[in-house]
Chains A and B, each alone.
Chain A
Amino acid sequence: MSTANLRKWVGFCFIAIYLFVGVPLWYKLTTVYRASLPINYIESLQNDKFQDIHLVIPVYVKSDTYRFPDIHDAVQVQVNHLLNSKEQRVPWSLQILPYNETVQNVEEKENQFHVVTLMLDEFIGYTSAYDTKETVVYYDDAAVLSNDLPFFVAQTLVEHTFQLEWTHLNKTNEDVSTNNQVAISYDPNIHLSITLLSGDGSPVAWEIEPTLTDYFSPFRKFLSPLVNFTVDSSIVYHNDLNLHSLNRSSANVTWFDLSHTIDLSELSSMTYYPEDSALNLAIVFPSVSSTPNGLAFVNGTRIANSVIALDWNSYLVPQWGVIIINKNPLQPNSVISEDYLEPMMYRFSTDIFHLLGLTEGSQELLSPYITIDSFKRLTILQNLDKAIETLWSLVKLTQQFQGMSIPREVSANVVEALDLRLEIIDLLNDPEKGGDIVWNNALRLSNELVKLCEKAFFNGEMVQQNFFPQEHMIAVYLPLLGPISAVLFFGFYNVMKEKNEVKNETEREAAKEKTELEEAEKLHAIDGEDEIMG
């Protein structure tokens, strides 16, 4: 093979490697990995978030005096009629079933169902039990005769027992959540920080440990299906939350003055706890030096059915916790007894219900079990809503930012979340399931679902390439690929050109020879012929 041909082949090889190996490799290595997401499914869920949900709550009817064999069917008709009267945003219904021995067997302390007990009395009315999930409907003989009983039961159930669902799940209510300005957003793990603040530096002690064991531990356990509290306590000296700057002698200190005076910055240290949410209880004693006669605006807390008033006021700080301001400063070396802390625990427990969003404003908590049960269901729905919202945000972002990478992990999380969602919906929709265990389980799963969706959304790898503008890309690639490409292409061009030049030269030489020959023929001056002829 001639040198020219060899050069040509080498040139071709370089170009071929450049084009068929280099370019695909570069493309592969620099392409942002974008795993596929079930975009259409998520979009359809976003358009109608509760499309596949039909919340069914089983309610058992029990009658002690009379036997009504078909009362559950009759109540069911009335309940359906009543529920249909309002347009529902989240479809829900009650499944009225007769109370029998099987239910009795399934029911335990930890797994209660909603039960309606019909009781013959002289008047018509209802009560909800304070310590169970039972609703008692009183009726008289006249109601039985006029066949009004099913309607009474249905009305009691829908408008009273399931009042939270009735108000929050219809079309007029925009949001599923019971959240208001005071309550923190729901989180299954909440840190509780209890602090004793003293305006002075003299040592004080408090019996917080026995108080918490005696009062707060049972309360924690009571709320444990809903929220898991972790508690810490501490004493802070030389801090009265800036109360000394208030006009102490004035009794006219309003909440507005307090809002602008109280400085909670030292207590808002939620970043030091592993939990995402935190609530605080601050028990403040003013300083002896600045307030020897106590704070005039603290007018004490009255106790029901008693003449005694306690020397402190409590204040609710929205989404933060509770401040208890004591009227008098602490004497040096005081020990705050459990008896003194006990009423505070009572007040705080009631406030926790506000802060969690279980009760609003001055609303009474008349039947805690039923309220907690409804709250669980609303929280599950709220979690489902939140999960879809998060997934939809994820989809929107990935579509908007084409340069954003989508790791395989995100896609796996999304798929897992969607499966989990269906699992939860199965639990909600099943009319046979509706005991405490089922709701607790569904709540736990829905919390997992929210976590999974957040994990997908906040994946750390999705930041890459996002802050990498086009100019930067050119700035990086040009010095790297520019010289290689330039050398290769110009070299190849050169080789091609060389070959052509060689070819042209040969052709030119051949043509030249041919012309010379022709000219010689014309002149009959070809030596050979002369010689032959001669």
Chain B
Amino acid sequence: MRTAMRLPLLLLYLLLLPFSSANNTDAAHETIATNTNNWAVLVSTSRFWFNYRHMANVLSMYRTVKRLGIPDSQIILMLSDDVACNSRNLFPGSVFNNKDHAIDLYGDSVEVDYRGYEVTVENFIRLLTDRWTEDHPKSKRLLTDENSNIFIYMTGHGGDDFLKFQDAEEIASEDIADAFQQMYEKKRYKEIFFMVDTCQANTMYSKFYSPNILAVGSSEMDESSYSHHSDVEIGVAVIDRFTYYCLDFLENIDKNSTLTLQDLFDSFTFERIHSHVGVRTDLFERDPSEVLITDFFANVQNVIPDDSKPLSLSHYHHHKDRIDTAQYELNNNVLDLALEKNHENFSSPKLDKLTKHIKSTNELNVDIGSNEYSLTFSKQSVTLGLMFIAMIVLLMLSGNTTKANYNLYNN
């Protein structure tokens, strides 16, 4: 009997299920993101003219995250910065990543945080772990907290479990893994999206063990990553395949985009990249198909309307008279209290202003400087000034005459 009663309910539920799940997906896109500040760490570990493409890779990523709203103060850019002004550059001061030279990556204000010989393994590890001497500038630090999502992009020449830093040293995958662990211990991130474009890139994230890290690499072990194309005029390869197709995808993203990281991963095919792109999701709690691109590549600030409650002000006089305590308590404002307290200690003459009527917006725009007025004003002042100078000159002249006369008499 009971089962029979439940059956229609079950059927109804099954019927409604698709609708409810559809609603949920819609709602998922409109929920308040819990990450409140997004950061980007973009590193090109190479040097020299022939590694032009690595610089272009990083600068293209920089341009993309900046376009999507991550402020410069939250982007850490590390690159050797030696191609834009290289003597071999046919376009001095510019870096291009495309044949048509449409976008000058170096054109807008590019804030490089670590350049030249500052791009070292030590500085990179220090940046992640935030272990610096006290005089290290704040703008060159990764000031993340437990609400920060960090996008880390690295490019250069790599090998099995290592990535070269400027032909001088190398970082091992264990080092990055340990640095992430230190960040995790101090709650310095919410989620990390690690992207690496080098040869044998997938080995770089193989040693990670800290939670909430999603990693993607351009090529498998014993596999090279390839450049996309060479530029005839520049004379070297200008961008890598993996980064090129990444940017190709990201160019269509806006701040209100609902595309997810899974869409990005799906866009990588062997035909395009010419190597096997690897994705590591086991440390990451969410499914990549639920992670919006904008969760890492953009900075979407939630805006909460604040007009639900009428603004209460100028109740200072109400309070003084204690006419209606209940009403007062409903409408009071903490600023009144602060003003009152201040008034008790030091009587502020400005307090009377509180009782002033609020002026409408039309009255606000007090025009102090119409051209005519300022012109008259300047004419008047010039005349006055001239008169003043003339008077001084006259006085001085008369003074001199007297003095001369005096001298005459003395002699």
Contacts and interface: CB of A to CB of B under 8 A. Distances in A.
Interface of A: 109, 130-131, 181-182, 185, 203, 210, 213-215, 217-219, 221-223, 255-266, 268-274, 276, 299, 301-306, 308, 310-311, 313-320, 322-323, 326-328, 330-331, 333-340, 342-343, 345-347, 349-351, 353, 362, 364-366, 368, 390, 393, 396-397, 400-401, 457-463, 466-467, 469
A302 B310 contact: yes
B306 A130 contact: no
A223 B359 CA distance: 29
Contacts of B131: 458-463
Contacts of B231: none
28 contacts: A109-B344, A130-B319, A130-B328, A181-B34, A181-B36, A214-B348, A218-B339, A259-B302, A265-B299, A266-B71, A270-B73, A273-B138, A310-B311, A311-B361, A314-B306, A316-B305, A317-B303, A318-B301, A328-B361, A333-B370, A337-B359, A339-B359, A346-B335, A349-B335, A350-B334, A351-B306, A467-B122, A467-B171
A203 B374 CA distance: 14
B121 A467 contact: yes
Contacts of B178: 401, 466
B186 A346 contact: no
Contacts of A323: 303
Interface of A is mostly: mixed
B376 interface: no
B102 interface: no
Interface stretch (B5-13, B270-278, B350-358): B350-358
B341 A303 contact: no
Given A337-B359, A460-B131, A463-B125, 9 more contacts: A130-B332, A218-B348, A270-B143, A272-B138, A336-B364, A339-B353, A339-B356, A368-B337, A460-B132
Given A214-B353, A345-B335, A463-B129, A264 B71 contact: yes
B304 interface: yes
Given A331-B367, A336-B364, A467-B121, A258 B303 contact: yes
A362 B308 contact: yes
B259 to A, nearest CB: 14
Contact of B71 (A218, A265, A318, A326): A265
B303 A340 contact: no
A130 B260 CA distance: 50
Contacts of A203: 369
Contact of A315 (B172, B256, B306, B312): B306
B403 interface: no
Nearest to A266: B71
Given A271-B143, A349-B335, A302 B340 contact: no
Nearest to A364: B330
Contacts of A308: 358, 360
B82 interface: no
Contacts of A347: 306, 311
Contact of B306 (A313, A338, A364, A466): A313
A457 B139 CA distance: 20
Which 9 pairs between the two chains have the least Cβ-Cβ distance? A218-B342, A222-B338, A265-B71, A260-B256, A349-B335, A333-B369, A393-B185, A302-B310, A271-B139
Contacts of A313: 305-307
Contact of A271 (B138, B313, B364): B138
B331 interface: yes
Contacts of B303: 255, 258-259, 262, 315-317, 323
Given A311-B361, A314-B306, A339-B356, A130 B337 contact: yes
B130 interface: yes
A467 B175 contact: yes
B145 interface: yes
Nearest to B120: A467
Size class of the contact patch on chain B: 35 or more
A368 B338 CA distance: 10
A85 B301 CA distance: 42
A281 to B, nearest CB: 12
B122 to A, nearest CB: 7
Contacts of B145: 185
Interface string B114-134: 000000011001100111111
B237 interface: no
Given A262-B303, A265-B299, A333-B369, A303 B312 contact: yes
A311 B131 CA distance: 48
B337 A264 contact: no
Interface in B60-96: 66, 69-74
A219 B333 CA distance: 11
Contacts of A213: 350
B396 interface: no
B358 A303 contact: yes
Interface string B127-157: 0011111100011010101010000000000
B174 interface: yes
Contacts of A350: 333-335
Contact of A343 (B255, B313, B367): B313
Nearest to A334: B365
A19 to B, nearest CB: 33
Contacts of A257: 256
Contacts of A217: 342
A327 B362 CA distance: 12
Contacts of A270: 73, 143
A130 B327 CA distance: 13
A401 B174 CA distance: 12
B39 to A, nearest CB: 11
A269 B139 CA distance: 9
B368 interface: yes
Contacts of A460: 126, 131-134
Nearest to B128: A463
A318 B72 CA distance: 20
Contacts of B283: none
A390 B187 CA distance: 10
B329 interface: yes
Contacts of B321: none
